[in-house]
Chain A
Amino acid sequence: MNHTYIGKDMPIENAAAKAMGRLVYCGDMSLPHMAYMKLVLSPVAHGIVRAIHTEKAAAIPGVLAVLTPDNTPAITYDRGRVLANQQAPAQETIFSRHVRFAGDRIAAVVAETPAAALEAAALVEVQIDPLPAAFTPEDALTLEQPIHDKDSVITLPTASCGDFDEEVGELFTHQTSTQRITHVAMENHCALADYDPATRHMTIWTPTQSVFGVRSVVCTVLGLPMNRVRVIKTPMGGSFGCKQEMILEPLVACAAQMLGRPVMLQFDRREVMLCTVLKHPLASQVQAKIDAAHKVKGLRIDVTLDAGAYQSVSPDYAETMAKKFSWVYDIPSIEYRARSVCTNTPVSGSYRGWGGPEVALILENTMNAYAKKQGLDPIDFRLKNILPPFSQGKFISYNLGSLPFREALQAGRARFQWDARKQALASQDRDGRYLKGLGMALSTHTSGYFPRRLDWGRVILKMEEDGTVQINLCVHDHGCGEVTALKSIAAEELRLSPDEIELQEGDTAYNALDNGCYTSRSVYVLGKAVQEASQSLLKELYRYGACLLQAPPEALFHGGGQVFVREEPSRACTYSDIAYYCADHGAGALMIDHNHIPESNPGPVAAHFCQVEVDRLTGQCQVTDYLAVHDVGQAINPASCRSQVASALQQGMGFVFCEKIQLDEKTGRVKNADLQRYHVVRAAELPPLDILFIEQPDEKGPYGAKSLGEACALPVAPALVAAVNDALDMDLTQLPLSPEGILKALSERK
């Protein structure tokens, strides 16, 4: 099918403003009388704050207020919940006298200038009586006094299907563990709130993934009515999950209400790394039963997530992992046990893929290790075990769509020249300094929430009198092109230029309730809503165009902002003519209110293939070649799709090779809360990346699209791990695979 905009590379929304440095991010805003907030964080990992002395801080010129647990609400809330009626462990307060990690919030200073706030915050004196602290789940389980009165340890009910014990096959055990990492979105967290005591209206600007989630938490904490709290999403300088939870917004809202003036809180990198959210450290044990024909018959998985100091989303995170073990391979019996354990460490939370990358790592490491042990080709081994198209997983009740696992594996095998590479590497000098290895991994993900609740796209589409279009939809662009994609969809349907479509992002004052842009749902769910609404608007244009042109609607055609009589194209009227006609003839405004409730959730398949070279002298790994094969249904904007995959690769390489938040073993303090000591992958280190999109349209997706943004993050780590292990003929499963770790493993083998 020939499209004008769908499938075409489109520059991202506001590209010119971004290139000119003119786009206003939250931290670039300023309001009259705006004040600045600075937090006072606990230096102690666990303790009770005996005294807070604010006198010296308050005496600094320009200081407007010092917020402490004594003058702020003590209402507990959960930073990760979207609706107040969600079951969520509400363990957190705005400020706390019981500090649970080094970085926990004790107080804050609000001042006329950032410099005054900074100076004063350092002068708030805090006396803390330390309590025994635990920095690992193992230690936390032995604490006499738990970190919270309730829910310090949450053990999920076992999720199971089939009967693992009854399955016949060789027992293969495997372990994978991962480290704590930070997202490194380039924009540090920032929020701005303004409260007008005269009108009792609160307005909050924030680069959030859920304006309604922010509103819900703020209203709970401050006891405000929802219709007087307006949350506006600002341009987001990257999230990767780090801007999903509501962390800064309750704080600035509280301060703004207290002072009756705007208050901004801008985190620096250290604060982002200490007191937002980090990716969970995780330990897993897998038992697999694999029969003589190399069919995986059973999986028993035991996972422990380190939730950090507050449970928040962690139990939910652990729970969603169960189904993800069941939707790549046809495994009759699966048992999944998980627990989420609070420790006196920074809070763990949302990270791109929400358990998907963790599951892919655990499962694919197991698959790769077994294949290696048995001398099986990892692609052949997978081909024996993949779910057939249109299957469903074991823990879900819906169809996963076309699931082109076979196509992805075969296309990748051919394009990467897997077999030829394998043959070439078989004769490499195993005693040489550099060893090369191949790795691959397979996965799938979600395209939305279905069948979980809170998944809909409510869109109001209106045509202005000049024929341009406004879309009102609660979308939160992460910076990766959601708005561009949605505009392309509307433009394609209406045959307008994307320039003639306007779409403002999330705003609780105007948008219908929406869960937020999580789980890669924006294109599949919101895109479909926009497509259907556009089709409805077209019907209206035909209906009134028919009146204007005095021709039956079925004789009409549209293009270039006009409606024509198909057989007689000179009989035409513009969309603008129709809009004025409606206004003049009592039909009112041209506006569609559409609610799309998805009934499908296809799994976008991903297969990644790579070659890595390991330097046995230094332990350094260099990724030399990489192929990502992605079933995207239809790439709406291929340029953005390629960026997503490239971003997943660089983040995955960081996760595998160099990124790690390090805690001091004695104090539990983060030792590397800065980008000098926390290393991400740089431009010079990236391999050539080949990307192949498999485009088999999904029946229900907009133009057949499935999701991509998180799906591409899943196979990276296990593919890289497999390549390193192939190179070294080892089974390293504890991330990161740092040079020191590799050298240690090599020396232990000798």
Chain B
Amino acid sequence: MKLRFILNGQAIELEAPPEKRLIDLLREDLHLTGAKEGCGEGECGSCTVLLDDAAVHACLVLAGQIDGHSVTTIEGLGKDGDLDPLQTAFIENMAIQCGYCTPGMIMAARGLLLKNLDPSEAEIRNAISGNICRCAGYTQIIQAIQEAAKAYRKEAQL
């Protein structure tokens, strides 16, 4: 089917089978390899992207579902070549190890912060409980998300 959707802020149009998984559409057709596939069943979160403003697992979303919607991937984060506050916070808080879970983790955090700019630690832990990181213990990731939330709040006040 012909898909019309917003990808990282740009309107695009492409032909794809409606049952194609969003993760495959992104990686194979659009060459956006930031979202990773770790389990293929919505358990590990490494393929997390935003569908409109909600964090979703790209392995569980089908191409047909994105028609008329907006998809944001890790590549679409940040403005004018600057890193998004979440990306900066992940780097500065040493919240990155092997990096394989990082794009999904950041997008899950972005989804949370779009709904709640001042999340508690428990809310953060819950929001990323669908994202697995095996190289660390989530502590630095949680700190990074808290720092980023601060930066977003500051930005919102300006």
Binding site for B on A (CB under 8 A): 9-12, 14-25, 27-28, 30, 114, 183-188, 235-238, 240, 268-269, 478-481, 639-640, 642-647, 649-651, 674-676, 680, 682-684, 686, 689
Contacts of A185 in B (CB 8 A): 98, 100, 134
Q: Does B38 contact A186, Cβ atoms closer than 8 Å? A: yes
The 10 tightest CB contacts between A and B, nearest first, are A21-B34, A479-B98, A646-B137, A237-B100, A18-B99, A21-B74, A639-B94, A643-B136, A675-B43, A28-B33
> A479-B100, A479-B135 known; A640 and B38 CB under 8 Å?
no
B91: min CB distance to chain A, Å: 4
> A19-B87, A25-B100, A236-B98 known; A650 and B39 CB under 8 Å?
no
Whole-angstrom CA separation of A33 from B52 in the bound complex: 35
Quick one: which of B33, B92, B101 contacts A186, CB cutoff 8 A?
A: B101
Q: Does A184 contact B96, Cβ atoms closer than 8 Å? A: no
A629: min CB distance to chain B, Å: 16
Whole-angstrom CA separation of A735 from B101 in the bound complex: 28
Q: Does A235 contact B99, Cβ atoms closer than 8 Å? A: yes
Asked if B97 CB lies within 8 Å of chain A CBs, one says yes
Whole-angstrom CA separation of A402 from B75 in the bound complex: 49
Q: Does B134 contact A184, Cβ atoms closer than 8 Å? A: yes
Quick one: which of B27, B91, B122 contacts A19, CB cutoff 8 A?
A: B91
Q: Does A237 contact B35, Cβ atoms closer than 8 Å? A: no
A-B contact pairs, 6 of them (CB 8 A): A12-B96, A21-B32, A22-B34, A23-B99, A479-B135, A683-B128
Q: Does A20 contact B87, Cβ atoms closer than 8 Å? A: yes
Name the residue of chain A whose CB is nearest to the CB of B28.
A114
Quick one: which of A12, A25, A237, A686 contacts B94, CB cutoff 8 A?
A: A12
Whole-angstrom CA separation of A183 from B34 in the bound complex: 23
Q: Does A15 contact B38, Cβ atoms closer than 8 Å? A: no
Whole-angstrom CA separation of A649 from B141 in the bound complex: 16
**Most B-side CB within 10 Å, residue of A27, A30, A187:** A187
> A11-B91, A23-B99 known; A643 and B39 CB under 8 Å?
no
Contacts of B120 in A (CB 8 A): none
**Most B-side CB within 10 Å, residue of A9, A21, A268:** A21
Q: Does B94 contact A646, Cβ atoms closer than 8 Å? A: no
Asked if B110 CB lies within 8 Å of chain A CBs, one says no
Q: Does A238 contact B135, Cβ atoms closer than 8 Å? A: yes
Contact with A along B74-112 (1 / 0, CB 8 A): 110110000100011011101011111111001000000
Q: Name A's interface SS.
A: loop
Quick one: which of A11, A20, A114, A187 contacts B34, CB cutoff 8 A?
A: A20
CB-contacts of B16-72 with A (<8 A)? 24, 27-28, 31-41, 43-44, 46
Whole-angstrom CA separation of A20 from B24 in the bound complex: 19
Whole-angstrom CA separation of A686 from B121 in the bound complex: 12
Q: Does A480 contact B35, Cβ atoms closer than 8 Å? A: no
Contacts of A642 in B (CB 8 A): 94, 136, 139-140
Whole-angstrom CA separation of A695 from B94 in the bound complex: 21
Q: Does B139 contact A238, Cβ atoms closer than 8 Å? A: no
Whole-angstrom CA separation of A194 from B33 in the bound complex: 21
A207: min CB distance to chain B, Å: 9
Whole-angstrom CA separation of A154 from B16 in the bound complex: 54
Contacts of B99 in A (CB 8 A): 12, 14-15, 17-19, 23, 235, 237, 479
A302: min CB distance to chain B, Å: 32
Q: Does B91 contact A16, Cβ atoms closer than 8 Å? A: yes
Asked if B10 CB lies within 8 Å of chain A CBs, one says no
Q: Does A689 contact B38, Cβ atoms closer than 8 Å? A: no
Whole-angstrom CA separation of A189 from B126 in the bound complex: 28
Q: Does B39 contact A651, Cβ atoms closer than 8 Å? A: no
Whole-angstrom CA separation of A28 from B36 in the bound complex: 9
Binding site for A on B (CB under 8 A): 24, 27-28, 31-41, 43-44, 46, 73-75, 77-78, 83, 87-88, 90-92, 94, 96-103, 106, 122, 125-126, 128-129, 131-142
Quick one: which of A9, A235, A689 contacts B139, CB cutoff 8 A?
A: A689
Q: Does A188 contact B37, Cβ atoms closer than 8 Å? A: yes
Q: Does B41 contact A21, Cβ atoms closer than 8 Å? A: no
Q: Does A674 contact B137, Cβ atoms closer than 8 Å? A: no
Q: Does A639 contact B135, Cβ atoms closer than 8 Å? A: no
Whole-angstrom CA separation of A225 from B136 in the bound complex: 40
Contacts of A481 in B (CB 8 A): 97
Contacts of B94 in A (CB 8 A): 9-12, 639-640, 642-643
Contacts of A27 in B (CB 8 A): 33, 36-37
Contacts of B88 in A (CB 8 A): 19
> A11-B92, A15-B91 known; A187 and B41 CB under 8 Å?
no
Whole-angstrom CA separation of A646 from B136 in the bound complex: 5
Q: Does B36 contact A237, Cβ atoms closer than 8 Å? A: yes
Q: Does B137 contact A643, Cβ atoms closer than 8 Å? A: yes
A634: min CB distance to chain B, Å: 18
Contacts of B91 in A (CB 8 A): 11, 15-16, 19
Whole-angstrom CA separation of A114 from B43 in the bound complex: 22
Q: Does B74 contact A686, Cβ atoms closer than 8 Å? A: no
Q: Does B142 contact A11, Cβ atoms closer than 8 Å? A: no
Q: Does B126 contact A684, Cβ atoms closer than 8 Å? A: yes
> A28-B33, A683-B138 known; A268 and B97 CB under 8 Å?
no
Q: Does A11 contact B43, Cβ atoms closer than 8 Å? A: no
Q: Does A19 contact B83, Cβ atoms closer than 8 Å? A: yes
Whole-angstrom CA separation of A158 from B78 in the bound complex: 61
Quick one: which of B75, B122, B136 contacts A20, CB cutoff 8 A?
A: B75
Whole-angstrom CA separation of A28 from B31 in the bound complex: 9
Q: Does B97 contact A25, Cβ atoms closer than 8 Å? A: no
Q: Does B136 contact A186, Cβ atoms closer than 8 Å? A: no
Whole-angstrom CA separation of A268 from B98 in the bound complex: 18
Q: Does A684 contact B136, Cβ atoms closer than 8 Å? A: no
Q: Does B73 contact A237, Cβ atoms closer than 8 Å? A: no
Name the residue of chain B whose CB is nearest to the CB of A688.
B139
Whole-angstrom CA separation of A10 from B134 in the bound complex: 19
Whole-angstrom CA separation of A496 from B98 in the bound complex: 25
Whole-angstrom CA separation of A10 from B74 in the bound complex: 23
Q: Does A240 contact B33, Cβ atoms closer than 8 Å? A: no
Contacts of B106 in A (CB 8 A): 19
Whole-angstrom CA separation of A262 from B101 in the bound complex: 27
Whole-angstrom CA separation of A683 from B33 in the bound complex: 25
Q: Does A650 contact B134, Cβ atoms closer than 8 Å? A: yes
Name the residue of chain B whose CB is nearest to the CB of A236.
B98
Whole-angstrom CA separation of A650 from B141 in the bound complex: 14
Whole-angstrom CA separation of A404 from B37 in the bound complex: 43
